[in-house]
Amino acid sequence: MDLPTVKVERLYRQISNVLIQFIRDGHFAPGQLLPGERDLAKQLGVSRSSVREALIALEINGWVEIRTGHGVYVRPILPEGAENAAGGDGTDEGIGVEALMEARETIEGEIAALAAKKATDAQIHDITRIVERMEVDAAAGDMETFHEHDQQFHEMIGAMTGNPVFVEITDMLWNKRKTLHYAKFERQYSDSSIIVTMCADHRVILEAIRSRGAGTARQAMRRHIRNAQKRLFDGGA
């Protein structure tokens, strides 16, 4: 007897598939405004953040249109033959934003703590220059260049550990942000104001590393990632 393969499906994908079924069954008609995120979360018994990720997955695959300031509408013309939120062809839109943020908070917090112990003076000088460039980017509202410097900032902290495994892990975590799902989510729910907040966080992390405070650096990094997550999941409501 051949048993079926058991697949662990991400929660936001499960939510997406429930909503797709409701659209197919006519409970949500083409062109109709969906209930708000909070209402959907309450009705489905899930977090609002998971609902927000599900709606992004649905938009990517052509089921809904998110109109900033107006709500989420079922598209007038629906996809054909799509069996799930990933388009029915096995395409994976990537790790969920919330899951990635949770992993980053834990892992990068420890990397920052080790960096505070092992960073060289030359590395601290270099990362200071990166923070200064990010502050210029933020003042100019240049999000694209800011994100390039942001990546350099986090990669430099990984390099400060002197451990190639942590360098590779930092690079992997950053590359997870380059999926279609994450990029769409970030474009939809962030604006230039978020990079001002991130700059302030980066400055705090820098000073913790400069002072060789491992515990302080750990907490500063974890706080930074929580702040970014809060801005993404609470903004644009």
Residue indicated by tokens 């980053």: 104
Q: Give the whole-angstrom CA distance, residue 85 versus residue 131.
A: 39
Q: How confident is the model at residue 93 (pLDDT cuts 50, 70, 90)?
A: low
pLDDT in tens, 192-202: 788 899 999 99
Answer yes or no: are the C-beta atoms of 74 and 28 closer than 8 Å. Answer: yes
Q: Which amino acid is at 58?
A: L
Which stretches within the chain are classed as H helix? Answer: 11-24, 37-44, 48-60, 97-118, 121-140, 143-160, 164-175, 180-189, 192-210, 214-234
Domains and CATH numbers, the chain: 1-93 (1.10.10.10), 97-234 (1.20.120.530)
Q: Give the whole-angstrom CA distance, residue 128 versus residue 208.
A: 12
Length of the chain: 237
pLDDT in tens, 21-45: 999 999 999 999 999 999 999 999 9
pLDDT in tens, 115-146: 999 999 999 999 999 999 999 999 998 989 99
If you ran DSSP here, which 8-state letter would residue 111 be given? Answer: H
If you ran DSSP here, which 8-state letter would residue 178 be given? Answer: G
Q: Give the whole-angstrom CA distance, residue 186 versus residue 172.
A: 18
Q: What angle do CA 107, 14, 68 make, to 5 degrees?
A: 80
Share of the chain above pLDDT 70, in %: 89
How confident is the model over 225-236, as a mean pLDDT?
86
Beta bridge partner(s), residue 216: none
Q: Which residues contact 165 (CB under 8 A, 6 or more apart)?
A: none
Task: Give the 3-state secondary structure of residue 71.
Answer: strand
